[in-house]
Amino acid sequence: MNISRHNIEVEKIGRLFLRDCLRLDEFLRYARLEARNLSSFHTLVASNVYLAGSVVAPDSPEVARALKLSAEALTAIFAFRLNPPPTDYKLGEGPPLHYEVPPSPRDPDVLTWRQAFHLALIARESRLLDYLYLVTKDTFRESSLVGYSDETFWFMELQKSAWRDSKFGWEPLLTKCEAYEARSSIRSQKEAAEIVRCMNIPYYRVLRKLGEQDSVGFSDELASALTLHKEYCSATKERRVEEVGFVSLQLTALAALAWNRGFRFHVMSDYLPWSWVTGEIFTKSTPATGLIQ
């Protein structure tokens, strides 16, 4: 079964990809100069390169570079809040970073942590995962996003367990997270309930099969989750044009982790770039700049 991507304007996406490939190094310089630019580097440019690139050039060195740079930039938001901060942190091809002013305590939030974690898994960057593993609930006390509940942090701790322990299938926290999402699907308003049904619950089903080391079950649940991803992203005109729906980063991250652990499966989907899953995109030569060669 091939789970094709919903209809999008490929020509328009191609123009976005080319534009931000050309802007990548300029914004990278800003991010290297000041920590306050780390998030905007990811949001305004680098994420556009790999999201648009997942449509028009998923195996390109430009996409590989953008994935790694985004992982590095988002992780730096947390790494430079540690005590002591890193002295050998790399962002791009230049010398190690040094910030006179660290990232604002308002910058680290749970959603950014999740993005950084998924990107680091896809990029096979264990050094970044080590930094993210050190992040605790206290890191988010002054976050610009407020209203965190204990359940919000369960997901973070569960992902840490999944990365460090290949046999986490019977982790009690996994059961707690699944139960919480099941309750949310009933209590939430329509839009939020759709996200829970099509995105959150399927993710946990795939995660459980990974933790149970069930390769066949993993493949089946992954295909089901991608089908639901398509259902959600194609349901309205607004969703169809959202770049974040062009690829499922969280499912690609789980698939990459599973592949690294010896799972062998092949789920065909535009939402799951295969070279990202296997890591082959990162074994090709990466250009020294973000310009199209």
Q: What is the pLDDT along the chain (293 residues), one digit of tens a residue?
A: 789 999 999 999 999 999 999 999 999 999 999 999 999 999 999 999 999 999 999 999 999 999 999 999 999 999 999 988 999 999 998 899 999 999 998 898 989 999 999 999 999 999 999 999 999 888 888 887 766 677 778 889 999 999 998 888 888 888 988 898 888 877 777 888 899 999 999 999 999 999 999 999 999 999 999 999 999 999 999 999 999 999 999 999 999 999 999 999 989 999 999 999 999 999 975 544 433 32
Nearest to 65 by CA among 121, 25, 114, 18: 25
Tokens standing for residue 30: 């800003």
Roughly what angle, to the nearest 10 degrees, separates helices 10-33 and 61-79? 40
110-123 and 61-79 helices, crossing angle to 10°: 140
Q: How far is CA 8 from the centre of its chain?
A: 21
Tokens of 33: 């100069």
Indicate the residue type of 17.
F
Of 201, 133, 222, 211, whose CA–CA distance to 171 is shortest?
211
First and final CA of the chain: distance in angstroms? Answer: 34
Angle, helices 150-164/201-211, rounded to nearest 10 degrees:
30
Would residue 97 be called left, alpha or beta, if left means φ above 0 and alpha means ψ between -120 and 50 degrees? beta
Residue spans of beta strands (DSSP E) within the chain:
2-3, 268-269
CA atoms within 13 A on the CB side of 58: 20
Phi, psi of 256, rounded to the nearest 5 degrees:
-65, -40
Are the beta carbons of 224 and 202 closer than 8 angstroms? yes
In this prediction, residue 146 carries a pLDDT of: 62
Query: Please, how many CA atoms are within 13 Å of residue 49, restricted to the half-sphere of its CB?
Result: 29
How many other C-beta atoms are found inside a 10 Å radius of the C-beta of residue 22? 15
Q: Which residues contact 19 (CB under 8 A, 6 or more apart)?
A: none
pLDDT at 41: 97
Q: What is the pLDDT of residue 269?
A: 97
Asked if residues 256 and 67 have their Cβ atoms less than 8 Å apart, the reply is no
> Taking the CA of residue 254 as centre, how many other CA atoms within 13 Å lie in the half-sphere pointing to its CB?
27
241 backbone dihedrals φ, ψ, rounded to 5°? -100, 0
Q: How far apart are CA 190 and CA 202, in angstroms?
A: 17
